[in-house]
Amino acid sequence: MSSDEKQINENNETELMELGKFYFLNNKYDEAVVKFNKVIGMNPNNAEAYYNIGLIKETNNDFDGAKKMYAKALNIDEAYKSARERLNKLIGLEDE
């Protein structure tokens, strides 16, 4: 664990989201999913966490898993434009 990680408050949803995004951007997908799942454990209504897991699943060619995560994000926030666009792309719909 790096000294930067030790300064992260694991009970802070925002900090966990940022750490998850950091891992994702650095291609550390497993670590990112762990952080996003922690966020979901703290707040099951965090659509962004589901969306980010969907992005990771899509990156890893798990398209069914990605669709499920995008759908969960949309169940929480039906106006989540990015999740709608990614899901539509995966199921073959064109954006309106």
Q: Spell out the domains of the chain, with CATH numbers in brackets.
A: 9-91 (1.25.40.10)
| Position 1 confidence tier, pLDDT thresholds 50, 70, 90 | very low
With the C-alpha atoms ordered 9, 11, 12, 18, is the resulting torsion angle positive or negative?
positive
Please tell me the distance from the alpha carbon of residue 75 to that of residue 69, in angstroms, as a whole number.
10
Predicted TM-score (pTM) of this structure: 0.87
How large a percentage of the chain has pLDDT more than 90? 83
